[in-house]
Copies of this chain bind each other. A is one copy, B any other.
């Protein structure tokens, strides 16, 4: 069958399915088989043509669903997703890709309906909302991979793949933003044509990424990562969130989480042979694992990293705020040695805080600390001005992870420069002469 014939047959089938003519399951199966014979990259273009030829958005939605079915099956084939339990981070990524596929596919279709729209403003608004939705892919699905997942393969020496994918993520989002900006130029000559062209491009780029992920990245992850590593990934996912789904909770593991800095594995010969062909081409020969150990003997390990004594002290001194910390008995335990706005001296270490303030403000300080201790307040803030300086003073209760009161901290900051900042200055604007 020629592509043209296939398209005609698809159109007929869609109509029939939608109108409930005949045996729907059979029709869907025929439709599926037909779709499979078409290269996935060509499908959006065919859908596009169908819309032009009068297929309604409802019918197209049906088509998307069927396409998704196939898509799901083909992915399951590729790396046996059926073995991956619901709620497993890989399962979640895959489900998001279904949503992303759906949204990317409908984008050019929605746009085609613009030409026939009675109320173009309304259509554009709807369109604009859908495009804005796509920006969320970046903050969730893409970011989770960039921030939580890539480090696991980087640690094994696979460095180029994450860089390429991240660059593509950014390109995709740049295109989405361009599309959003274009909408505001309604009325310009050739507006709909330009919009249509760019939205097809956006759709295609996003679909390409889905394809890369499902066919290259996810099979790689499945092959390489230990169960402990998936436990670690699962612990962090929810901070970044998900694209239009909530992960299911079927998957449970007894393994201890294994964070990238704990991973010491090289890629074995067997693992290498199991990797997708496209990846093997990219990583090539001589992949060496990253042997850097970020942990040192005298470190002070906390939930979110490692610091040694020298670093704690130097880091606190470097911060652009002046810190004074009192313990739960209201005694000064620590202050940071900066170019302080309000000077502090070592003599105050161990001093009761009530003796550190001018007598007339002591009662207020005591009262604030009581409210911190009881949990009634989480902040007290003050600001004073003079000689061109604007001093911002904040007190906060310090609580441990069990929410127990450990003490309180005073944070003092000169903010006149912050108050005078104008416009924006991005890292890409940075120059050596700055």
Q: State the A residues within 8 Å of B (CB).
A: 143, 147-152, 154-155, 159, 162-163, 166-167, 170, 232-233, 235-236, 239-240, 259-261, 290, 292-294, 300-307, 309-315, 318-321, 323, 325, 327, 329, 331-337, 343-352, 355-356, 358-361, 364-365, 367-368, 371, 380-385, 390, 392-394, 396-401, 406-407, 409, 411, 413, 415, 418-419, 421, 423-430, 432, 434
Contact = CB atoms under 8 A, between A and B. Distances in A.
A359 B321 contact: no
Contacts of A350: 151, 155, 260-261, 292-294
23 contacts: A147-B345, A149-B347, A155-B350, A159-B355, A239-B345, A259-B349, A260-B349, A260-B350, A300-B300, A303-B313, A303-B346, A304-B337, A311-B398, A312-B312, A315-B334, A318-B396, A361-B428, A364-B430, A382-B426, A383-B424, A384-B425, A415-B415, A418-B419
A261 to B, nearest CB: 3
Contacts of A397: 318
Contacts of A305: 325, 332-335, 349
> Looking at A149, A319, A367, which has the most chain B CB atoms within 10 Å of its CB?
A319
Given A292-B331, A304-B349, A425 B336 contact: no
Contacts of A311: 325, 327, 333-334, 398, 406-407
A299 to B, nearest CB: 9
B347 A260 contact: yes
A343 B424 contact: no
B312 A343 contact: no
A240 B345 CA distance: 9
